[in-house]
Amino acid sequence: MNKKAQTSEQLISQVVFVILIVVFISGMYIYVKSQEDGAAVWEDYWGKEIAKIINLGSVGEEIVLDVHSMTKIAKKSGVEYDKIFTFNNEKREGCVQLKLGRKTCYTWFNNVIVKDSYIELGKESKPINKLRFKIASGGVNA
């Protein structure tokens, strides 16, 4: 009788071990698939770069950035073009969203605002999408 109890305990522990392995491998697979297009890395990179550009920019400048690869990732993820790059002048914050339900935001320190931001879609002869925005003076009420 003792051998049967040991055998069933071993069987239970092996089944639990196999279930844990399957759960771990499934979790890793889901994580790797979610990072496949690098959206989180690109959101972080572009958020920092835009904040740095605004900090280094001066009043009256129009900034034009090639964001074609970002628009491809966002389109694949179902994000609309007008929601990829957003600016909140009250918080002095620029946000980048390449996946639904998640966005990365960074603040700028200059006392400027961003206005007239939009994505200019490329034409068939020149398929490069560009982010355009202007840096204006003052705070939110300027």
Give 5's pLDDT tier (boundaries 50, 70, 90): low
DSSP state of 123: B
Percentage of the chain with pLDDT > 70?
A: 94
Give 67's pLDDT tier (boundaries 50, 70, 90): very high
Note the pLDDT of residue 1: 53
Note the pLDDT of residue 9: 84
User: Mean pLDDT across the stretch 44-54?
Assistant: 94
pLDDT of 4 above 90: no
Dihedral sign of CA atoms 55, 57, 59, 63 in order: negative
User: How far lies 131's CA from each of 50, 96, 121, 128, in Å?
Assistant: 10, 12, 9, 10
Written as one string, the DSSP assignment of 33-61 is HHTTT-HHHHHHHHHHHHHHHHHH--TT-
Instruction: Domain ranges for the chain, please list them.
Output: 1-34, 39-137
